[in-house]
Homo-oligomer: A and B are copies of this chain.
Amino acid sequence: MTDIFTIGDAARESGVKVPTIRYYEEIGLLPPPPRTEGGRRAYGAEDLRRLAFIRHARELGFEIEAIRTLLQLQDDPAQPCAAADAIARDHLVTVERRIASLTALRAELQRMVEGCSHGHVATCRVIEILADHGACVHHAGGRA
């Protein structure tokens, strides 16, 4: 129950790399754990849970600052969850926009590679479309 874990164990368990764990500690996302006599970090089960939470949230594309807020919410379960809900909703909107933008982009790239004459650059559709924004369907921009 009160097992302790080295930073390497924690990395293996959580899937977060060792330097990244230290980085999370540095920016205050993960509390500094106690140290062994030799000065090594000694994590407990709670730290592993927190790391897993962070990792999962990062996988889902949440920014560090959003995760910081979510972790604070998690630490106080009596709070109303409106804030967490808002963060998730916000992120959902971002993700939807990103999908729309990438889908338009995919169409453009498909047009490019399908139109490629496999000849010389002078007649290459890829280069041509890149050179001439007018020939492009994309237009509906947004970060990819």
Interface presence of A77 (CB below 8 A): yes
Min CB distance A123 to B, Å, is 8
CB of A131 within 8 A of CB of B53, answer yes
- Chain B residues within an 8 Å CB radius of A131: 49, 52-53, 56, 74
Bound CA–CA A56/B138 (angstroms): 10
This chain: how many copies in the complex?
A: 2
Q: Please give the number of chain A residues whose Cβ is less than 8 angstroms from any Cβ of chain B in the complex.
A: 57
Interface presence of A64 (CB below 8 A): no
Given A59-B138, A60-B105, A84-B124, 11 further pairs, Cβ under 8 A: A56-B133, A61-B102, A70-B130, A76-B121, A78-B120, A80-B119, A80-B120, A81-B126, A81-B127, A89-B113, A91-B109
24 residue pairs of the A-B complex, CB under 8 angstroms, read A49-B131, A53-B130, A53-B131, A55-B133, A56-B136, A59-B144, A74-B131, A77-B120, A77-B122, A78-B121, A80-B118, A80-B121, A81-B120, A81-B121, A81-B124, A84-B124, A85-B126, A87-B126, A88-B112, A89-B113, A91-B109, A92-B110, A95-B109, A98-B144
